[in-house]
A = this chain, B = another copy of it.
Amino acid sequence: MTHRSRLAGFIIDCETDDLGAAAEFWAKALGSGTAPESDLYTRLDPQGGLHVEVQKVDHPSRVHLDIETDDIAAEVARLEGLGAKRVSEIKTWVVMEAPTGHRFCVIRAQTEAFEREAKTWA
């Protein structure tokens, strides 16, 4: 069995009560439009080939990476084999922590570039 994965993009997690202001700063900083999605997420324009979203969070602000895959269980197991730890499952994605301390998410394949650019893992 093989599966595939790719860096899908990154999320700018903002500890704020004002998602609109946070998204406006990052949109103007990056020269992007904004597309509000919910009370928690505003999508910015893709940067390079990567998706970018601004998220309202209640933990300290950070940037986290999203890895997209066609098999979340297999990708989580692969990353555990590299030393990452599973932190939690939220809806359709899994939050993990790298051995370097960074939180990141494993999400369902969703970018247009996935078929073209994803790596295959045996």
Contacts and interface: CB of A to CB of B under 8 A. Distances in A.
Contact-size category for A: 35 or more
Interface stretch (A3-11, A35-43, A87-95): A3-11
Stoichiometry (number of copies): 2
A21 B99 contact: yes
Nearest to A106: B29
Contacts of A99: 21-22, 25
A7 B47 contact: yes
A10 B67 CA distance: 15
A11 to B, nearest CB: 10
Contact of A50 (B15, B48, B62): B48
Interface string A31-67: 1000000000000001111100000000011111101
A98 B25 contact: yes
A100 interface: yes
Given A31-B5, A113-B48, A100 B60 contact: no
Contacts of A79: 29
A86 to B, nearest CB: 14
